[in-house]
Structure formats: structure tokens, C-alpha cells
Amino acid sequence: MKLRNWQSECVSSAIEKYKSFKKHFLGLATPGAGKTYMASVLAKKMHEQDLIDLVICFSPSSVVSSDFSDALVEQFGTHFDGTIGALGDSFTYQKLNSIPEQTWRLLDRYRVFVIFDEIHHCAGSSEHDANAWGTPIINKIKDKAEYTIALTGTPWRSDSLPIALSEYCEQSGKVLCDYIYGLKEAVRDNVCRIPQIIAVDNDKIIVNGDQEQQNFQSFSELLSQNIIPYTQLVKNELVVEQLLLRAINKLNEIRVINHNAGGLVVASSIEHACSIKNIMKCLFNTDAIIVTSNEKKPSAIIKQFRKSKDKWLISVGMVSEGTNIPRLQVCCNLSNVKTEMYFRQILGRILRKTQSKNQDAFMFIPAEPNLLDYAFRVAQDIPDGLSKVILTTMNEELNADISETENDEDSELADLSVEAAECVNLDVSVQYNQKLEEDILTAREATLEKKVHDMEIEGIFSHEQLEVADLGMYQISDTSMQKLSELNNASFH
């Protein structure tokens, strides 16, 4: 496979830096751009130039780890499984603290090239500010590896800790990347699809307390009162049905042209995933495959789905960063995690271009204010106003009841902890020090009052569309702000 222009540039830039006696390289490339292939080609070229002897790779999940191993095997024509005769191995980050000492000794005896995928999960400039994954990188790899390349599509952390092996600008505090390839460039180069993001809202929500009734005109207004947590909103059957209805219809449209196009539903918990699968089957006569860490071989399920023509995959923490399923073109985001990093990583699953005629990419989300902010920021990254953020509304009359207690919230937080632990195959007892620690901290819902609240959703809506135009990289123009204001006024009145 021929290197894309950005991949060739990045490989050349890395080798140039290494030959100038600098051993660490940080590359930023938008999710879906092809970081795995680039890094494997770089490793092969460095081996051919007699710069390295072995290659070791670390990544955030078993699926991505397997993909890296496959890519290296393709380049080198030999196995990468740590056995006799192998030129290296591919690990998940959670194995960093259990790698045997004889493996670490390879860094003393050989010139080892280390690849770090999604390095932002590893924090620390020293032992004093390092997390559980950053510590072994600092103590056992940083000074002993011959060269390293650290890759990321989202170069920030919500806990403000420094990313391992990274340098920061003293004035701005932003990470300094050796090579940057953003979504704007990827769309311009026809590498990534142009995402269309659809947010579903409701303008008549009634919450009944013990002695009072409150009315809300949007999910944003409801969530701002800390009465009903977002976790429960994404689990509400009618909200789920409305998002699924639009997502399923859109995928069916795309499959008229692309017969093997697939869809992804990101669920909040295993129980939530089972409920979503039941709704898809009973209401929409649509089958779906669930993949969680509870399965014996989740990586095999994902690889099988990648090659199949099945329509839908429901994931709990297993299909996010780096997972390569190019035929995915529609995503329904029903996760209770609300960080921008997680949002962009999920979006990246539908951005990989294929040779198919239709290259549409649609993400469906509830109109939660943080997610809307992220959606508009994504639109800013797309040239010429091509990306659209569409505010759509449920046009059916809806009725739903949700009972909330303080104990329910404890259960929801437990679900989120389990989800994060499942995502990295870790015990719940240590998951806060691992992969999604920043997502968990920011996704905690506000504490609910002990009294029970019932919610009814009864709104009937129109459909409004916003095409985001005139947006600079970091600033929204006055014209676009006026369009957004007019749309909001039209949508919520």
C-alpha cells in the first residue's frame, strides 16, 4: 500500500530528527488518518537503515494492539509476538506493570524502537506527576529505548497532567508536536470523510417532585438543574428509540449504495447495550452484535464484524481509539462519557475513507450542551463550511417516566467504573489510575436529592438544520454566531 503524503512526510520528519541525535518524536494525526500504517512503515525503514534491532509497541486496547502487530508483520514479513525469532512484540498499556524483567533487559542489550499509540493516556514528566502507565515509561523506557515515537489524535488530558514523553510551550502551556496532521488537512487531502453531526432534543419535559412540577424546554435546561443525570437520559427508552430511528434510517439509505456499510452504537454499560439490542430488534426489526470485555474474544468479534456485511455493532468501551473498521459510516453515541477526547475518538471511527461510492459519515447524539460544543468545534476544523451540525427534534409525541434516587446514582457511577475497567480489561479497584481516568472524573453526575423525581417527555417538534459556515480554526465569526442564535431561537420556541 502506498503511503499517503502526510504519512510520507511524517516518516521523513521522524528519521531526520532521530539522525540529529534526538530520540523522542511526537506525532499528532486526526483519528482515522492512518497512524498505525505510518508507524509500521517507519519501523521498517529504520530497520533497513540499521538504526534499530527490535520494535516494541504499546496501545490502549487489545484490538489496537493486535492491529499494530498485524501491520508490523505485513511490513517485516516475520512474527511480532515476543517468541523466539520475533523482531518484537505488541502490548496493551495495562500490561506495562506486568512485563517480565527479561523483556525490559532487551532495552539494555539491543537498539529498541518503541511505538506508543494514543500516548495521552500516559501521564508524567517525572515520577512525581506520573500516573500508573506513565511511571514505567519514565523509569524503564525513556532513557533506555534507542528511539520512540508517540502518537495521538487528541493531545490533551482533562486532569492537566503532562503527557508522557512530551514537551510543552512555556508561554501557552500547549504540547509541542513534531508533526501535526489535523482533520482539516485530512478532509482536504481526501483521507477522512466529512462528518455530519445530528443532535436530538425535546422542548417539553416535565419533572414531578414530591410536591412540585417543573417544566423544561430542552435537555440542556433540564441537565443544568442537576435533577436528572445525563446517565439516565441516555438510558431513557424513548430517547434511545428516537436516536436509533434516525441512525437506522440513515444507515439503510447509505446501504442502498454501499451494501456493506456498517453502524456503531456506543452504549453506557453492558445492561444498556442489551436494552439497545432489544429495542433495535423489537421496534425496528434490526439485528445487532454486542461486543464487550465480557466476551471471551472481543478482538475476534470486532475483526469478524470488520470483514462481514452485518449492519450494526453495539460496543461498551471496546470500539473507540484506533479501532479500524472502515466500513462504519453511522454512529449513535449513547455513552454517558462526556469528554471531548472521548467524543472525538468515537467520531473518528466513522471517518476512515474507503473505495465505496458513498462516503457519508453521520453521528447522532442527544443535544447535551457539552456534546454540542464539541460538535461545533469539530465543524470548525472542516474547510469551507462543509461539515454540518444539525439540531433535529423528535416529531412524535412522547411520554416517559424516570424514577431517580440517590442510590440510583451510585449504581450509575458503578456502571461507568465497570465500563472503563472493561475497556482496558482491568480490575475495578485500579481503574482510576488507568485508561479512562480523565473520562470518569468528568463524567460523574451531580449528586441527586434523595426524593424521587418522575420525568415525562411530551414535546412535539419541528426540524431545523444549521450549516456551519465561515468558521475559522479557533474563532467563530459574527455571521455564524448570528445563524446559530437564530436557529436556537427557532428550535426552542
CB 291 within 8 A of CB 298: yes
Higher pLDDT: 407 or 21? It is 21
Give the alpha-carbon dihedral of 36, 42, 47, 52, to 10 degrees. -90
| CB count in 10 Å sphere of residue 101 | 7
pLDDT the model gives residue 451: 41
> For residue 95, what are the contacts with CB-CB under 8 A and spacing of at least 6?
none
> For residue 60, how far is the Cα from the chain centroid?
12
Closest C-alpha among 319, 325, 336 to residue 413: 336
Residue 471 pairs with which residues in a beta bridge?
476
Percent of the chain that is helix, strand, coil (3-state, to 5): 40, 20, 40
Dist. CA 154–CA 347, nearest whole Å: 12
**Range with the lowest mean pLDDT among 21-35, 61-75, 199-213, 329-343?**
199-213
| CB count in 10 Å sphere of residue 162 | 18
* Burial of 400: CB neighbours in 10 Å, binned 0-12, 13-18, 19+: middle
Dist. CA 203–CA 106, nearest whole Å: 62
3-state SS assignment for residue 270: helix
Q: Which three cell numbers stand for residue 93?
A: 498499556
> For residue 263, how far is the Cα from the chain centroid?
15
Q: pTM surpassing 0.85?
A: no
- When the pLDDT of each residue in the chain is averaged and rounded to a whole number, the result is 80
The predicted-structure confidence for 147-177, as pLDDT tens digits, reads as follows 999 999 887 776 778 899 998 888 777 889 9
The predicted-structure confidence for 212-267, as pLDDT tens digits, reads as follows 888 888 899 999 988 889 998 999 998 999 999 999 999 999 999 999 999 999 99
- Grid cell 464487550 is found at 292
- Grid cell 446517565 is found at 231
Dist. CA 36–CA 49, nearest whole Å: 20
Tell me the residue type at 427. D
